[in-house]
Amino acid sequence: MSQQVYSVPKVNKEIGKQVSDYINTLTKPVGSLGRLEEIAIELAEMKNEAFPSIDPPGVLVFAADHGITEEGVSSYPQAVTEQMVRNFLSGGAGINVFSRQIGAFLNIIDIGVAQVIEHPSLINQKIRYGTANFYREDAMTREEAENAIAVGYEQGLDMLNKGCQCLILGEMGIGNTSSSSAILAVLSNSDVASLVGNGTGISQETLLHKVDVIKQSLQVRNPNPEDPIDIISKVGGLEIAGMAGAMLAAASYRVPILLDGFICTIAGLLAKEISPNSADYMIVTHQSVEPGHQLAISLLGKKPILDLGLRLGEGTGAAIAYPIIQSATLMLKEMATFDSAGISNKS
């Protein structure tokens, strides 16, 4: 796949230095707003602006099914993916609530649900009716993997064209922690058992079975760790590829990406593999309880903002963290300096 398609600019470290100096003139002890100061500097570097804005946010939720559910790796049946998509469309899911709270645009994209869903608000970009069972065959073709990334990229651009100043990615797909764990095992060369968690709340017995299924699948599929498209086609998910594509769109246009939990962070790692600079536009919003999430975050070279024991997905963690990140931008824009407020600074 040609890298030219996704040309992501470097962040502007020079403006970061200027903003850092400016923050030190605000009416507060130096460094006293901690991580908020770091976030403000990062946003300035991403957006190439001294006073960056992340308002309004845009939320994209990609939904797709996974053939691997045939192996009994999840506590919920595959039908739940479709049922949850209908819940998103009627406004009743967690991501609906938090998107309303932060005034976000919200789009729901069917990129591979195993059922037909007709709804005027649903964006139908179905690549295929769910992935194949990667325990028995490749999850999808190489072309389907590339198409899923391209769909995500277009959906990302569509959100940016609405005027969104930051992008929140979410997903829905029963079985996607299995796919994400498999991808992470390939990218990190780690033992599967150390990465796999209870997902939606499986038993210890099912957990051991899940580890075994993923291990055996990776031996047979043998994805190339140097080739992100090969990894996606062999053990990936359509919604994971879609999220990665949307991230590449945001990064290409210097728009901050707010990463949600485990599955979203895995999509972030894939985007980084496709275009390394894209990682500089990502903010990890929270630490999920999924065991592999910590490793995935460290591979991105990031640290999470919150740790609330979240494991819902859908983009909910990123939406919950959004007001904190917005606080960083408002600190820059609205706080007085010692000079402007006529306050004596430390001599």
Is-contact 243 171, C-beta < 8 A?
yes
Residue of 146, 171, 314, 334 marked active site: 314
Task: Please confirm, yes or no, whether 37 is among the known catalytic residues.
Answer: no
Q: Whole-number mean pLDDT of the chain?
A: 96
| pLDDT score, position 347 | 61
Say how many C-beta atoms besides its own lie within 10 A of residue 290's C-beta. 25
Q: Convert the pLDDT of each residue in 115-170 to its tens digit.
A: 999 999 999 999 999 999 999 999 999 999 999 999 999 999 999 999 999 999 99
Q: Convert the pLDDT of each residue in 299-313 to its tens digit.
A: 999 999 999 999 999
Going by pLDDT thresholds of 50, 70 and 90, the confidence category of residue 1 is very low
Going by pLDDT thresholds of 50, 70 and 90, the confidence category of residue 182 is very high
pLDDT higher than 60, residue 84: yes
Exposed/middle/buried for 191, CB within 10 Å: 0-12, 13-18, 19+? exposed
Share of the chain above pLDDT 90, in %: 93
Rounded to an integer, the average pLDDT of 234-240 is 98
Query: pTM for the whole thing?
Result: 0.96
Rounded to an integer, the average pLDDT of 5-19 is 95
Q: Convert the pLDDT of each residue in 268-318 to its tens digit.
A: 999 999 999 999 999 999 999 989 999 999 999 999 999 999 999 999 999
Q: Convert the pLDDT of each residue in 63-79 to its tens digit.
A: 999 999 999 999 899 99
Rounded to an integer, the average pLDDT of 11-22 is 98
Rounded to an integer, the average pLDDT of 180-206 is 91
Taking phi over 0 as left and psi of -120 to 50 as alpha, with beta for the rest, 72 belongs to left
| pLDDT score, position 346 | 74
